[in-house]
């Protein structure tokens, strides 16, 4: 164990909280942001995707950089990058400026998140490590829960720009504790530093996301198809590059030799895609169509992070005793039922407890049943040499799922001029999300190994 365990834990929690808060707080600010910056509805999803794109594509590279050159160093570089970007977001005079700053935030998060967890892994041993990581995860869930509520209050009372000014004081505390108390560590045999692979993945995902967003416009045509084809070509080039590098790749394809790992990856993509669409679209609907305050819309989804945090320890024990397949299949199915129930919501004076809370509770229960078994199963599905990479890759897939879902929401945002057409899009999105979660349940049943000892 490190020399200053409490200060090390506090530093990593404060640092990672930056990424968790900004992963959720902007959702409740979208209507105010769009109004203030005069954003074209079709481009609104980029306020979220500009952050998710570098985070999802570069999180594995961020961890590898820490292994090579020092985890504390890149944790601090990530904090500094995130802080500068937050100040830029707060002062953004236009949408392009905001998107550039959000992308820089995503880069900072991709550096600090994997290294905060790696610092915990190196600073604690045995049962203390398990408790530290559990505390870190619980604090992340709490930060994700409080972000939309506190951010919603700030949007209502002061304005959307102030939500980004939450970050510098938290960052200052994390940076000081890391500088003062965290020991510097590197891996003696560090993970591969595959910058070319990370670059190809980032550009490919960027082009595909832009193509999906552009396709929602009536004038999309040639530009969207060209970007989609270029993105697919670069994605193919990324896979060829990873195959060529073998175990030195940022995403070793040998991990996909196990059907269970393939099933878990597909489950993560479809389940987190469903969740990612919900946490963006529901607050927007409540604020824009139902005229709720931002703080009320932020609080509407509180059951989801709270039940994930509360249920994870119990479900972790269930998965270790009985295996992950059934909890993942049942949990994903319950999420699908909850999302389908959102399609019942009407307009004009909806009641939270009758219309919004029941489906939200089902989604929360389903996700609470899935998160810990998913993490456990991912780590058990590959050999010991690939555990860290598999866990990081699964985290990246969850972010990329949110990226794709948010890009597809451009089809709904583009129809907000009329309440009727927006509601058609909202209900279609709810049913597509439900189908995606049911597909995830199918992957759990048919691809994931049912032997919990495996």
Q: Residue 192: pLDDT above 80?
A: no
Other Cβ atoms closer than 10 A to 321: 8
Residue 351 CA to residue 292 CA, distance in Å, equals: 11
Domain locations in the chain as residue ranges: 1-182, 198-249, 253-454
414 alpha carbon, distance to own chain's centre: 23
Q: Residue 206: pLDDT above 90?
A: yes
Q: Residue 149: pLDDT above 60?
A: yes
Q: Per residue in 274-332, pLDDT tens?
A: 999 999 999 999 999 999 999 999 999 999 988 988 887 788 778 878 889 999 999 99
Which whole number is the average pLDDT over 208-214?
91
Q: Kindly indicate the confidence band of residue 23, based on its pLDDT and cuts at 50, 70 and 90.
A: confident
Buried-state track 59-68, b at ≥16 Cβ within 10 A, e below 16: bbbbbbbbbe
Residue 431 CA to residue 15 CA, distance in Å, equals: 36
Fold identical between 1-182 and 253-454?
Answer: yes
Predicted TM-score (pTM) of the model is 0.92
The domain 253-454: what is its CATH number? Answer: 1.20.1250.20
Percentage of the chain modeled with pLDDT above 90: 62
Which whole number is the average pLDDT over 364-388?
85
pLDDT at residue 310 in the model: 83
Distances (CA, A) of 287 to 245, 293, 316, 424: 48, 6, 36, 17
Q: Kindly indicate the confidence band of residue 67, based on its pLDDT and cuts at 50, 70 and 90.
A: confident
In this structure, CATH architecture of domain 1-182: Up-down Bundle (1.20)
pLDDT at residue 191 in the model: 61
Percentage of the chain modeled with pLDDT above 70: 96
Buried-state track 252-272, b at ≥16 Cβ within 10 A, e below 16: beebeebebbbbbbbbbbbbb
Long-range contacts for 247-252 (Cβ within 8 Å, ≥24 apart)?
247/192, 247/385, 248/192, 248/194, 249/192, 249/194, 249/197, 250/60, 250/61, 250/64, 250/192, 250/194, 250/197, 250/198, 250/201, 251/60, 251/197, 251/201, 251/389, 251/393, 252/386, 252/389
Q: Which residue, 34, 353, 305, is CA-closest to 148?
A: 305
Which whole number is the average pLDDT over 31-38?
94
- How big is the chain by its Cα radius of gyration, in Å? 21
Q: Residue 186: pLDDT above 80?
A: no
Which whole number is the average pLDDT over 352-374?
94
Transcribe 7-64 into DSSP letters: HHHHHHHHHHHHHHHHTTGGGGGHHHHHHHHT--GGGTTHHHHHHHHHHHHHHHHHHH
| C-beta of residue 7 within 8 angstroms of C-beta of residue 182 | yes
Tokens (6 digits) for 317 = 């024990």
Q: Which residue, 334, 382, 322, 385, is CA-closest to 358?
A: 334
Residue 301 CA to residue 295 CA, distance in Å, equals: 11
**DSSP summary character for residue 292:** -
**DSSP summary character for residue 255:** G
Decide which of 67 and 127 is more confident. Answer: 67
Q: Which residue, 45, 248, 290, 295, is CA-closest to 149?
A: 295
The sign of the torsion formed by the CA atoms of 103, 191, 320, 268 equals: positive
């Amino acid at each position: 164990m490190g020399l200053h365990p409490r200060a090390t834990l506090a530093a990593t929690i404060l640092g990672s909280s930056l990424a968790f808060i900004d992963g959720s707080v902007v959702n409740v600010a979208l209507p105010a942001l769009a109004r203030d910056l005069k954003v074209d509805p079709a481009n609104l999803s980029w306020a979220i995707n500009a952050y998710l794109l570098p985070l999802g594509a570069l999180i594995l590279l961020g961890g590898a950089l820490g292994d090579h050159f020092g985890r504390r160093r890149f944790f601090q570089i990530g904090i500094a990058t995130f802080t500068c970007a937050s100040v830029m977001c707060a002062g953004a005079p236009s949408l392009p400026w905001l998107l550039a700053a959000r992308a820089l935030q995503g880069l900072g998060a991709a550096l600090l998140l994997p290294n905060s967890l790696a610092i915990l892994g190196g600073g604690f041993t045995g049962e203390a490590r398990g408790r530290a990581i559990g505390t870190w995860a619980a604090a992340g869930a709490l930060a994700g829960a409080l972000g939309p509520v506190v951010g919603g209050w700030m949007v209502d009372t002061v304005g959307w720009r102030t939500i980004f000014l939450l970050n510098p004081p938290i960052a200052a505390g994390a940076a000081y504790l890391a500088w003062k108390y965290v020991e510097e560590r590197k891996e003696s045999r560090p993970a591969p530093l595959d910058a070319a692979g990370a670059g190809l993945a980032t550009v490919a995902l960027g082009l595909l996301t832009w193509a999906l967003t552009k396709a929602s416009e009536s004038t999309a045509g040639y530009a969207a198809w060209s970007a989609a084809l270029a993105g697919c070509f670069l994605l193919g080039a990324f896979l060829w590059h990873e195959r060529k590098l073998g175990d030195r790749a940022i995403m070793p394809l040998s991990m996909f030799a196990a059907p269970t790992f393939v099933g878990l990856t597909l489950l993560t993509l479809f389940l987190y895609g469903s969740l990612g669409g919900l946490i963006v679209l529901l607050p927007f609907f409540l604020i824009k169509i139902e005229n709720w305050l931002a703080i009320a819309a932020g609080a509407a989804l509180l059951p989801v992070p709270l039940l994930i945090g509360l249920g994870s320890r119990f479900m972790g024990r269930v998965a270790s005793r009985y295996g992950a397949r059934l909890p993942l299949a049942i949990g994903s199915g319950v999420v699908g039922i909850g999302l389908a129930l959102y399609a019942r919501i009407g307009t004009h004076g909806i009641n939270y407890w009758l219309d919004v809370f029941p489906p939200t509770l089902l989604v929360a229960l389903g996700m609470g049943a899935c998160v810990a078994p998913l993490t456990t199963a991912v780590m058990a599905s590959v050999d010991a040499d690939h555990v860290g990479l598999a866990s990081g890759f699964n985290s990246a897939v969850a972010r990329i799922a949110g990226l794709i879902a948010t890009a597809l929401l451009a089809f709904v945002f583009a129809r907000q001029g009329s309440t009727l057409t927006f509601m058609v899009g909202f209900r279609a999105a709810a049913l597509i999300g439900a189908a995606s979660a049911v597909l995830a349940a199918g992957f759990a049943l048919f691809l994931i190994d049912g032997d919990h000892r495996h």
